Amino acid sequence: MSAAEPTSPPSDRAQRIVEAMRRSIGVRGTAGSTFDHVAREAGVSRGLLHYYFGTKERLLVEVVRRDAELRIEILEAQLAGARNADDFIELLVVSLREAVREQSDIVALGFELFTLARRNEEIANEYVGLLRGMREHVAAVLADKQAEGVLQLGAAPEAVADVLFSLADGIAIRMLAEPDRDMTPTVDAAVTAVRALLTHAPS
């Protein structure tokens, strides 16, 4: 049974556990969020955490997955009203800034999972699946916006999605590492690059 499919359909208790871990990370950080803490906050036994997720690392994957799903759902709803590429880009920038400002621990957890994936094949498989799902979902949004005439993609939708995530990840790391630094010039430079990719169809 994988972390992506703890039950079929997903149990309300499993979702409660994921949300409890998410809250715990915001208070205690990743290292301090033990199964004991999470079990108490979720109102379940410690054994149930092991039943659904097996290890803390697999539960952390689910936390990142759930956070990504929520953010993409919100962003997708906002992007539905984008009338042009500038509207689209502005919403992407706002989403990035809000994620780093309001959920910095969860953003940092995503980078921690990459490190874990380098040493753990099971987590690597989960992590790759998570990245693939996010890429495919955003690529579908990009393709829809291109069909509507809002965007003129300079490359295949999945390639553009990869570039967007790569830029966002790189800027997020710098925001987290230097929280007092004004990142406006860096974000503006990224916007220039992204605008070219979203408004210039390949010849």
- CATH number, domain of 105, equals 1.10.357.10
If one counts the domains in the chain, the total is: 2
Residue 84 to residue 158: CA distance in whole angstroms: 20
Task: Tell me, yes or no, whether 46 and 142 share the same domain.
Answer: no
Structural domain that includes position 21: 1-54
26 and 94 together in one domain = no
Asked if 83 and 42 sit in the same domain, the reply is no
pTM for this prediction: 0.80
The residues pairing with 199 across neighbouring beta strands, listed in sequence order, are 152
Residue 132 CA to residue 162 CA, distance in Å, equals 10
The reply to whether 28 and 68 lie within a common domain is no
Cβ neighbors of 15 (< 8 A, separation 6 or more) are 66
For position 6, what pLDDT does the model report?
A: 37
Q: Looking at the structure, do residues 149 and 50 belong to the same domain, yes or no?
A: no
Q: Are 9 and 81 in the same domain? A: no
Burial class (CB within 10 angstroms; exposed 0-12, middle 13-18, buried 19+) of 8: exposed
d(CA 61, CA 56): 9
- Structural contact between residues 184 and 171, judged by C-beta atoms closer than 8 angstroms: no
CATH number where 41 lies: 1.10.10.60
Q: Which residues of the chain have pLDDT under 50?
A: 1-9
C-beta of residue 148 within 8 angstroms of C-beta of residue 191: no
Q: Indicate whether 109 and 186 sit together in one domain.
A: yes
Q: How far apart are CA 92 and CA 74, in angstroms?
A: 11
Q: Which of 32, 54, 76 finishes a domain?
A: 54
pLDDT of residue 76: 84
Neighbours of 11 (CB within 10 A): 14
Within this chain, do residues 140 and 108 fall inside the same structural domain, yes or no? yes
Give the pLDDT confidence score for residue 8 in this predicted structure: 35
Quick one: 44 and 91 in the same domain?
no
63, 64, 69, 70: CA torsion to nearest 10: 70
Asked if 20 and 106 sit in the same domain, the reply is no
Q: Are residues 40 and 72 in the same domain?
A: no
Shared-domain flag, residues 73 and 153: yes
